[in-house]
Amino acid sequence: MIGFLIDMDGVIYRGGQLIDGADRFIRRLRDDNIPFRFLTNNSRRTRRDVMMRLRTMGIDVEEDHVFTCAMATARFLAQAKPNGSAYVIGEGGLLTALHNNGYAVVDKDPDFVVVGEGRTFSAENLDKALNMILGGAKLVATNMDPNCPTQGGMRIGCGAIVALLEAASGQKAFSVGKPSPVMMRGARKTLGLDAARTVMIGDTMETDILGGVEIGYRTALVLTGSTKRADLPNYAYEPTWVFDSIADIDPLALEQTMRRAPLAPPEPSEPEPALMMSI
């Protein structure tokens, strides 16, 4: 059995329009009980919002099929510092995920300044965040995408807002969304599959494909979004497969190819620390 991590914008829809055949691909995964998750670097929406948006476009999915960078960020923070506090520049999806993971959203002395996608940034809250960072709060980004396509052109992405805070504070942000292994691994674990049986499908080399390559998944680039075939020689890494569209992917054919050409066996695990000391 293999499973899929699937980017949405440029793969399932573009400019609010469903990409032809994307609904049939998802239907096939569901009919054949092939596990999958939608992976998005947009932290504005909750997973329920994302589910509803996909359903409106005719894609039959449940909440459990959605994994957002807001969820990945909140889970990461809850592990790093349980029951901590955050000052948030972001929207509902991020606020909900933080609350669901035991975080308090505060206006003073936070453990973390967390920046996500959205329209809520202003000179006032950026100044506030800057002073918190200079006072010791850690800067965390849901993702570093510099901009996002919209129906009316591009809008400023989370990464651009974070770059502004990095420049002002002299501190580097930690980013959780694609291509970070924190998000790539977190999503794969919810599938219950190991890396050798996981395929990442996406349209963006810098996030979807790079994240998959770095963590050792097979990757399928689709050409319905931000990347053209002619762009590929500009990168030092490449996807395992290139498809014109997600509609052209045959899950069973991929599984057979993967079985014929297995990845190298995993490295032997490192010895336990106690054992190392006795040596």
Among 203, 209, 210, 254, binds Mg ion (CB under 5 A): 203
What are the backbone angles phi and psi of residue 148, rounded to the nearest 5°? -135, 135
Among candidate residues 33, 40, 43, the one with its CA nearest the CA of residue 54: 40
Question: Is 91 an interacting residue with respect to Mg ion (CB under 5 A)?
Answer: no
Token pair in block for residue 97: 């995920």
Residue 107 appears among annotated catalytic residues: no
Q: How many residues does the chain have?
A: 279
Mind giving me the DSSP string for 45-63? S-HHHHHHHHHHTT----G
Among candidate residues 215, 225, 221, 222, the one with its CA nearest the CA of residue 183: 215
DSSP state of 142: S
Question: Is 117 an interacting residue with respect to Mg ion (CB under 5 A)?
Answer: no
Among candidate residues 26, 34, 27, the one with its CA nearest the CA of residue 3: 34
Question: Is 10 an interacting residue with respect to Mg ion (CB under 5 A)?
Answer: yes
| Residue 42: CB minimum distance to Mg ion, A | 10
Residue 64 appears among annotated catalytic residues: no
Among 4, 5, 9, 112, binds Mg ion (CB under 5 A): 9
Query: Considering beta carbons, is residue 13 or 87 the nearer one to Mg ion?
Result: 13
Query: Considering beta carbons, is residue 101 or 143 the nearer one to Mg ion?
Result: 143
Instruction: Point out the catalytic residue in the list 9, 23, 145, 203.
Output: 9
| Residue 70: CB minimum distance to Mg ion, A | 16
Which residues are catalytically annotated? 7, 9
Residues engaged in binding Mg ion (CB under 5 A): 7, 9-10, 203-204
